[in-house]
Amino acid sequence: MARAQTPDFDGRGGEISGIVILQPANRPAGGVVMNVRSLSGGPSVSVLTDMSGNFQVRGIPLGPYEVAVDEPGFESARTTVQAAPVSPKLLLYLRAPYSPYAGGAGPIVSVRELRIPEKARSQFEKGLDRLAKHDLPGSLKNFEQAVAAYPAYYEAYYEMGVAELKLGREDEAAQAFQKSIDASGGRYAAAQFGLGLVVCEKGNAAEGEAIIRRGLEVDSTSAVGHLLLGLALHVQNRSAEAEKSARAAVLRKPDLAAAYLLLADVHRRKREYASLREDLDTYLRLEPTGPTSDRARRVRESIQKFLPGADQPLQSGSQP
């Protein structure tokens, strides 16, 4: 497990430590940036929480400090504390704001759902069922009938895009995602994420990034949106930003296996092999039999020679 960053300025002085809890999920907030700022002219420092939400700063001058976390998509949390040789552990809560377009709940969505004709809803649900059973052509027929009965059915246009993308028809997928964006007035983030992905896969990562960012303006709580942004940034060789986006995805959905693959690729490029091994171990715990699990195991084995303790048994695929 990753350890909390613990900057040590001179080995003496005071310390500040604490834990950040994500609300309303009530779980540790790992990988968030903590800003520790002196209120008396001393040093300021930023550190990351570990996967258990812990952080610590040691060896700082005694005195008052502001401790703050400003994570995009969450309400800011801050407090003041006295750095001391032995400091009580802080507890900060990172709260996600309510969004009527995140998760398909809320009064705005409920009112709209009442306007959807039963015929359109029935065809949409049949399409979802066929899509889940990998009957892609059949699902498309249902979604087409859904939008014919209710032209503002942006969810149906989005699912059409998903089906077209799985069929390998990128142009048709892009058209369906764009229709979803138009029908929703740009307020359905999933469609923007889908269109951004298609644009990236067609070789225009910068344009895809811009589209995905517009989706995150609508729903900053989306783990998939942050993951796709990270992928777009990674393609552009912007590793630091890609890593930040991947960690934002993990913060919002700790079991999003693909985010750990992105982190692994970032750390591979940076030759940070200990972090790479940890990323792969986490991925393999989440996806022990996934489509890229065997390759992940091979990569993990190949980097053992760069790491201390290379004779330790392979842990990939084990249960936590």
pLDDT at 319: 35
Phi first, then psi: what are they for 95, rounded to 5°?
Answer: -110, 135
Is it true that 14-95 and 107-207 share their CATH fold?
Answer: no
- Sort residue 169 into left (φ over 0), alpha (ψ -120 to 50) or beta: beta
**What H or E segment, with its residue span, contains residue 305?**
none
CA dihedral 192, 196, 202, 203 (to 10 degrees): 160
Cα gap 61→88, rounded to integer Å = 16
Region 222-310: CATH code: 1.25.40.10
The residue type found at 128 is L
Domain map of the chain by residue range? 14-95, 107-207, 222-310
SS3 call for 270: coil
The residue type found at 237 is N
Cα gap 87→66, rounded to integer Å = 14
Cα gap 37→45, rounded to integer Å = 7
Superfamily of domain 14-95: Immunoglobulins (2.60.40.10)
Q: Cis omega before residue 24 (within 30°)?
A: yes
Residue 60: both structure tokens together: 């700082």
Which of 168, 187, 32 lies closest to 99 in space, CA to CA? 187
Residue 178: both structure tokens together: 């764009």
Sign of the CA dihedral with 46 first, then 49, 53, and 59 last: negative
Task: Compute mean pLDDT per 10 residues along the chain, 320 residues long, and list them.
Answer: 47 82 81 88 83 85 91 83 87 72 41 79 95 95 97 95 96 97 92 96 96 92 94 95 93 91 94 92 92 91 72 38
| pLDDT tens-digit map of 224-244 | 999 999 999 999 999 999 999
pTM over 0.85: no
CATH match of 107-207 with 1.25.40.10: yes
